[in-house]
Structure 1
Amino acid sequence: MLNDIKAVLFDLDGTLIDSMSVWKDIDIEFLGNYGIELPADLQNSIEGMSFTETADYFRKRFQFKESVEEIKAIWNEMAYEHYTQFVKLKDGVLDFLSYLKSHNIRTGISTSNSIELVQGVLKAKEIEPYFDVVVTACQVNAGKPSPDIYLETARLLNVEPKDCLVFEDIPMGIMAGKNANMKVCTIYDDFSKNQDIKKRSLADYYINTFKEVLEGTYEVLMNE
């Protein structure tokens, strides 16, 4: 999987950290404050959107008077403690990051989350030094499945897209990596387990944990 790879690009939520369930709880609480029940289609509707795009979607769909920036600030405040105190790294992450560092393979985070939460969790988990760049989807023109975020991360790393490997946990993210002409490994996440068939149909590789990459026990998917 790592042959001829010069840079590894990671999604954050559901990929490096076990955090996807946090957002369902926040959405329930946030909407509940307005007397709104969580719509069944909400997660599918916002999948892949940037933090800013998601806030704008909420503002328009639920006709909130708050601005996009005000909604983002509320979400950051609601989520910060979860990210810095309770969210855990996915199994094998630290060993894999150490391997990449020791083999001079460049690394980047390409996330739909806010920069405040990304910086908070990286510092709290003491993995900030392992990453050369961090890019959020708010910094580019469009969220996933647009390739923008992965192309921008590769540009900042000064690595050609074809020499990059992406790790993602949801279909929109996988498509973003593939649309950027990069190889993509998808990882099991309990939150997206009902999408496993679709994830396997889109990605180049599949893992349950990052240990499988180092052990060479990952699954090669026949999607070429």
Structure 2
Amino acid sequence: MRIQDFEGAIFDLDGTLLDSMGVWHQIDVDFLAKRGIEVPDDYQKAITPLGALEAARYTIRRFHLENDTPEGLVREWLDMAQEAYSSHLPLKPYALNFVKYLKEAGLQIAVATSSDDALVRPCLERTGLMRLLDDYCTGNDVKRGKGFPDIYLKAAAAIGTDPGKTMVFEDIAEGLKGANAGGFYTVGVYEKANYRMHPEMMEIADEFIFSFRELLPDDRMAD
């Protein structure tokens, strides 16, 4: 990767820039336990690429939750996550340094996340990412999930960059597949919660990193 070859960069939020996957795992555990259900091994992988409403519909279908509505589930999940996003979830190591580095190099920067705007905006503002972004998109802005290119194409259009000259950073295989389908340069990002996906991610991404430190010059390690 040569930064000067690109016009822009689009980042996933959860698990890529933000160390938040542990919170979502616990929400899955607590939410399903209230309904007498244990979390299946494949549940988080199934819902991670989806927008909130689509994930809620999937959950209702899979677990036959006839007494729940998609809107009600989304509200319950948001209420459970709100405090963590607004007050203490940290960025992953060197994530802020790398976004600053790209911004100062003249790239247009966007976030493309499946999370709801009610969580995303307070988190971006608290962590200092918002002032570095040219735009951001959420799962509410597109109809299809991250297995499709829609959200990445929307983000690229918002920041005015050509997909072929735009990097997409993702921590899930479905996100990389969707970005590949849109013609983007894809970078898989290590996330311990998604370790089972890593062999697939290494195959389908243009590049795979274990830390943003790998992409930073030595003089950009400190904030």
Normalising to structure 2: TM-score of the pair?
0.92
- State whether structure 2 residue 182 is matched by structure 1 residue 176: no
1:76 maps to: 78
1:114 maps to: 116
In structure 2, C-alpha distance between the alignment counterparts of 1:113 and 1:72, rounded to whole Å: 10
1:100 maps to: 102
Q: Which amino acid aligns with 2:51?
A: S
In structure 1, C-alpha distance between the alignment counterparts of 2:70 and 2:9, rounded to whole Å: 32
In structure 2, C-alpha distance between the alignment counterparts of 1:104 and 1:196, rounded to whole Å: 31
In structure 2, C-alpha distance between the alignment counterparts of 1:107 and 1:24, rounded to whole Å: 28
Which sections of structure 2, spanning at least 5 residues, go unmatched? 219-223
Give percent identity, aligned residues only: 34
Kept in 2, the 8 Å contact 1:80–1:120? The answer is no
64-73 vs 170-179, greater mean Cα deviation: 64-73
2:43 maps to: 42
2:111 counterpart SS class: strand
37-46 vs 90-99, greater mean Cα deviation: 37-46
181-190 vs 82-91, greater mean Cα deviation: 82-91
In structure 1, C-alpha distance between the alignment counterparts of 2:48 and 2:31, rounded to whole Å: 18
CA deviation map 1:57-109 (0-9, x unaligned)? 11222233232122111111101112223321111111112112212210111
Which sections of structure 1, spanning at least 5 residues, go unmatched? 217-224
Q: Which amino acid aligns with 1:16?
A: L
1:3 counterpart SS class: helix
In structure 2, C-alpha distance between the alignment counterparts of 1:126 and 1:102, rounded to whole Å: 15
1:126 Cα deviation from its structure 2 partner = 2.2
Q: Which amino acid aligns with 1:129?
A: R
2:151 maps to: 149
What is the aligned length? 216
1:221 maps to: none
1:209 Cα deviation from its structure 2 partner = 1.2
Normalising to structure 1: TM-score of the pair?
0.91
Q: Which amino acid aligns with 2:12?
A: D
1:35 Cα deviation from its structure 2 partner = 1.6
79-88 vs 50-59, greater mean Cα deviation: 79-88
In structure 1, C-alpha distance between the alignment counterparts of 2:41 and 2:216, rounded to whole Å: 38
